[in-house]
Amino acid sequence: MPQRKKHPSARARANRAATSAALGGALPEAQRPELPEARDWHPATVAWWEDIWASPMSAEWHSSDLHGLLILAVLMDKFWNEPTEKAASEIRLQRQAFGLTPYDRRRLEWTIETAADAKERGRARRAKQAPPAPDEGDDPRLVLVG
pLDDT band at 37 (very low <50, low <70, confident <90, very high): very high
- What is the predicted pLDDT for the residue at 123? 79
- What is the predicted pLDDT for the residue at 121? 73
DSSP 71-139: HHHHHHHHHHHS--HHHHHHHHHHHGGGT-SHHHHHHTTEEEPPHHHHHHHHHHHHHHHSPPPPPGGG-
Contacts of 16 (CB under 8 A, 6+ apart): 109
Phi-psi region of 113 (alpha: psi -120 to 50; beta: other; left: phi over 0): beta
The DSSP symbol for 22 reads E
Phi-psi region of 112 (alpha: psi -120 to 50; beta: other; left: phi over 0): beta
Q: What is the mean pLDDT of residues 97-104?
A: 87
Q: What is the mean pLDDT of residues 59-69?
A: 90
pLDDT band at 104 (very low <50, low <70, confident <90, very high): confident
Stronger pLDDT, 136 or 101, i.e. the higher one = 101
| CB 94, CB 72: distance < 8 Å | yes
Cα(41)–Cα(29) distance, integer angstroms:
20
Cα(38)–Cα(29) distance, integer angstroms:
22
| Mean pLDDT for the chain overall | 82
Closest by alpha carbon to 72, among 56, 51, 48, 55? 48
pLDDT (tens digit, 9 = 90+) per residue, 4-15? 877 766 766 656
